[in-house]
Structure 1
Amino acid sequence: MIGLLPGKRRARREEGEKPFWISFSDLMSGLMVLFLVAMTVALLAVTHEISESEREKTRREEDIREVLQRVRDMTRDFPGVTLRGQSVDFGERARFDTNSHKLSAEQARLLRQLVPKILALARDPVAGKWLKQIVVEGFADARGSYLYNLNLSLQRSERVLCALLASPAGSADALSETDQQTVRELFLVGGSSFNFQKASAEESRRIELRLEFRDLGERAPALRPRLQEGDSRCPLDAP
């Protein structure tokens, strides 16, 4: 009987410890299940976020393609004017003489006929969601110094805005007050000196309208106060 006592003590000790190890095992299993559930939820959330971002990116690209296609359709009513990438190229119909920033009456009339159509599109909900600004880019040929041509190309861009904001007496193609206000808010001028040369010097003396769109997540600017008018006289014509 004395020899059996250690065995009994060991059995009682194992029975006392057994419930503790079962509870610890269950606890670890439960924690593992919670960890797996948390990871699954996190992965689903990340996947959903990526999917929504990709869908928004796709929608943006589709909307911009639609806007550009509508601009392309507009240019078909004006022979010689084309959409190249995101820029409206006026080709031969808006070229400048050497060392000149002046537009002919016909060239100014062309601008006042085409631009209101683009402004109407800019007020469309789809275009308005993404269209950020329209940059009037002036270009010069390679003759002359860089700074001289930069100034000349800027003057050519400014001349376009002068033509759009002018109200020629008796003219039926003058922009409405609404369109002129939109021009002031949406249009910017830019000059490229003799960068981005065309095949010939004559072709290089040109202007383009480049449409720029907001990036994904970029908010539209706050409503601007109404800009003052008084643009009847172009500063380029000042004595």
Structure 2
Amino acid sequence: MLGMRSSSARRSRDEAEKPFWISYADLMTALMILFLVVMSVALLAVTKTVTEREQVEQAHREDIEKMFARFEQVAGEERFAGISIDRSRSVIDFGSRAQFPFARSTLTIEQEKLLRDFVPAILKITDDDLGRRVLKEIVVDGFTDRTGTYLANLDLSLQRSQRVLCALFATPTPSETPMTLDELKQVRGLFVVGGYSFNAAKDTDEKSRRVEMRLQFLGVNEMRKPTEVLEPGNFGTCALGR
């Protein structure tokens, strides 16, 4: 009787404990499933965010390529023969058509006329939604040959880049179509100058004495700074003289 009572009591105790362990196991299983669901949702959200960002970046790169194609189309016109677009450096290369005399920053009349003809053509392709979405500014970079000191050439390179801007705002010859006030305001807001001394000299001194226009593009979701705060038509006169 005692043995039967002991066995019966132990069996009752085991049966009483089973619901607790079954419930605990179910709870842990449910928590694990919940954890996996939460992690899956979080991973999906992160993946979606990364994918969306990549899509935006890809669209931005494609817009830049479209902008390059526009510049190449303009540079390919017969009147601009010798001008090319270097996509790898984001540069408008004028070749021999924008080279300078030794130790000077002067341009010929023909070179100035070329600039006053070329710049309005590129302004037309930048003054729309695509242009404003990707193009930040155009840097006019002046360069020198290796002759002379670093600081002297740095000053000369800056004068050469400044000379380009002076040519754009100079009084055109009678045979030219003058740039409009709106075009001149676009130049003032979009163009900046830079100088490289002889840091980027080419294989000959003649080729080194040049200017280039470097295209600076906006980053993804970056906006071009507004220029409305500038005084309208207050362009001044060139400080370099002739």
TM-score by length of 2: 0.92
| Aligned: 1:82 with 2:105 | no
Q: How many angstroms apart in 2 are the aligned matches of 1:169 and 1:66? A: 34
User: How far apart are the structure 2 equivalents of 1:13 and 1:97?
Assistant: 106
Instruction: Measure, in 2, the Cα distance between the counterparts of 1:230 and 1:171.
Output: 25
CA distance in 2, matches of 1:38, 1:219: 37
- Unpaired runs of 5+ in structure 1? none
CA distance in structure 1 between the aligned counterparts of 2:231 and 2:178, rounded to whole angstroms? 19
Which of 125, 136, 143 aligns to 2:140? It is 136
| Counterpart residue number, 1:180 | 184
Kept in 2, the 8 Å contact 1:166–1:232? The answer is no
Hey, which bits of structure 1, 4+ residues long, moved more than 4 A?
Answer: none
Q: Out of 167-176 and 72-81, give the one that drifted further.
A: 167-176
1:57 maps to: 57
Per the normalisation by structure 1, the TM-score is 0.93
Kindly provide the amino acid, as one letter, of the partner of residue 181 in structure 1: K
> In structure 1, what is the Cα distance between the partners aligned to 2:188 and 2:159?
17
% same residue: 44
C-alpha distance in 1 between matches for 2:175 and 2:14 = 106
RMSD of aligned alpha carbons? 1.7
Residues 167, 175 of structure 1: 8 Å contact kept: no
Deviation at 1:223, TM superposition (A): 5.2
2:94 touches 2:212 (CA, 8 Å); kept in 1? yes
State the AA in 2 paired with 1:81: I
Change beyond 3 A, Cα 1:198–1:231: same
Question: One-letter code of the match for 1:178?
Answer: D
**2:12 aligned residue:** 12
SS of the residue aligned with 1:150?
helix
Q: How far does residue 171 in structure 1 lie from its aligned partner after superposition?
A: 5.9
Give the aligned length: 238
Question: Do the aligned partners of 2:113 and 2:176 also contact (CA within 8 Å) in 1?
Answer: no
Instruction: Quote the Cα distance in structure 2 between the aligned partners of 1:46 and 1:223.
Output: 38
Name the amino acid aligned to 1:70: R
Contact 2:181 2:233 in 1 (8 A): no
Deviations 1:94-134 (A, max 9, x none): 11111111111111111111111211211121221111110
Partner of 2:206: 202
